[in-house]
Amino acid sequence: MFEQFAAERVNIGEASVFVRYGGEGPPLLLLHGHPRTSATWHRVAPVLVRRGFTVVCPDLRGYGRSRGPAPTLDHAAHSKRAVAEDMVGVMRALGHEHFGLVGHDRGAAVALRLVLDHPAAVTRVAFLDGLPISEHLKRADARFATAWWHWFFFAQPDIPERVINADPDAWYRGDSQKMGVGNHDEWRAATRNPDVVRAMLEDYRAGLTIDREQEEADYAEGARVHCPVLVLWSLRDDLEDLYGDPRDVWQDWAHDVRGYGIDSGHHMAEDAPGPLSAALGDFFTH
């Protein structure tokens, strides 16, 4: 995976971030979702390099090989604001003050926080299979709770750690053929690490508390995304089934929204790398 990409650990204040990067040209920061690592982009990143971009793929704080501080009672140590600060620090360490931004799943929540907190840094942003956390929770009816029950299970203290760590392979099911062997092996090693599992759960605990509160406060104060926005969603996942056209939700958060559904399961970087790479390459070539 990631031939001709560099890999290193970047120390950013309280966090140590593992990052892969390669290529030349305008920088793109790709943020993975749960429970993946930066390796999820292994079929997309090389294509974007060939399209003329510098591509940066970090592990989010606590995921994969990145590490952050111990969890805090208010979950702020794993908040999207803290992770977004990590990502800005990584990009600056690599010499990029301005960049395009892509976030999938939980990475989309980080991407929203990053573009709200650091609007001057982001030229364009793509949200993949993601909505603002506060918008999910505003619509949390019985259908949402049934389909996305793990959000609320993960929020419980201690119990999820005991359940997941008892048999992580049974909980985090992966297919090496679909994911790619190297990606699968990296993901499997991460999900067998209790510290990674704890950090991933803290990501969700922060989502239901401090992240939601910060999003709601920003929205009430009129904060919006001013750069162009691309919204892509998996047609074989349930985002559109639950909410209708995701672009309609994002219209309340951004001034310039475009996008469409991709014939894919939830992990579109693995399931549909060709259509995804084409969509991102076209959007960020402007």
Closest to 64 in 3D by CA, of 197, 201, 207:
197
Note whether residue 1 is domain-resident: no
Distance CA 226, CA 239 (A): 24
Q: Name the phi and psi angles at 228, rounded to 5.
A: -60, 140
Tell me the pLDDT tens digit for each residue of 159-170.
Answer: 999 999 999 999
- CATH number at 158 reads 3.40.50.1820
Note whether residue 190 is domain-resident: yes
Note whether residue 151 is domain-resident: yes
Tell me the pLDDT tens digit for each residue of 200-229.
Answer: 999 999 999 999 999 999 999 999 999 999
The identity of residue 223, as a single letter, is: A
Residue 44: is its pLDDT beyond 90? Answer: yes
Average pLDDT over residues 143-152: 94
Distance CA 187, CA 37 (A): 6
Q: CA torsion, points 234, 235, 236, 240, in degrees to nearest 10?
A: 90
DSSP state letter for 67: B
Question: In the Cβ-directed half-sphere of 120, how many Cα atoms lie within 13 Å?
Answer: 1
- Left (φ > 0), alpha (ψ -120 to 50) or beta: where does 72 sit? beta
DSSP state letter for 7: E
Structure confidence at residue 213 (pLDDT): 98
Average pLDDT over residues 131-140: 96
Q: Give CA separation, 237 vs 20, 102, 233, 263, in Å.
A: 28, 19, 8, 9
Catalytic residues: 105, 266
Domain range holding 215? 6-284
pTM of the model: 0.98
Q: In total, how many domains does the chain have?
A: 1
Closest to 86 in 3D by CA, of 48, 64, 105, 74:
64
